[in-house]
């Protein structure tokens, strides 16, 4: 059964890679390049999973995770944080904001899809 996945990533190559891999695995995907469009797009699309870049222009992915979790319609949607920020304490801050899982960039396809399947099993 196809899952609906919102991909929030400002880097064009990463966004295309994530979307292509997810589509190849049978998922319905909506890409978002600008963090300021995340909440409105998530409310329209009603995703089963949000893949969230943390380092976005204009707004932090951590703030966006907190906003998703504060919205009653979206609070139960798991968030997979994907970030180049892999310093000490970063994972804890990201999980504290409400992310269900965390991957450090560069991301390999195997671990990426394993994390997706763990959060939205078929």
- Summarize pLDDT for 22-51 with one digit per residue, the tens: 999 999 999 999 999 999 999 999 999 999
The structure's pTM equals 0.96
pLDDT at 86: 67
Residue 87 has pLDDT above 80, yes or no: no
Q: How far apart are CA 60 and CA 82, in angstroms?
A: 12
Residue 60: alpha-carbon gap to chain centroid: 13
Q: How far apart are CA 41 and CA 109, in angstroms?
A: 25
Segment (H or E) for 6: strand 4-8
User: What does the DSSP 8-state code read for residue 86?
Assistant: -
Closest CA to 35 of 17, 14, 53: 53
Closest CA to 91 of 111, 77, 105: 105
CA-based torsion, 22, 28, 31, 35: positive or negative: negative
| CATH numbers and ranges of domains, the chain | 4-119 (3.40.50.2300)
């Amino acid at each position: 059964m196809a899952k609906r996945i919102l991909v929030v990533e400002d880097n064009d190559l990463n966004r295309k890679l994530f979307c292509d891999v997810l589509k190849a695995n049978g998922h319905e995907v909506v890409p978002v390049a600008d963090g300021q469009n995340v909440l409105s797009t998530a409310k329209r699309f009603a995703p089963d999973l949000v893949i969230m870049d943390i380092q976005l222009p204009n707004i932090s992915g951590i703030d966006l995770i907190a906003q998703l979790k504060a919205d009653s319609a979206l609070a139960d949607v798991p968030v997979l944080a994907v970030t180049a920020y892999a310093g000490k304490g970063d994972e804890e801050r990201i999980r504290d904001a409400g992310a269900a899982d965390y991957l450090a960039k560069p991301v390999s396809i195997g671990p990426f899809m394993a994390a997706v399947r763990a959060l939205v099993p078929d």
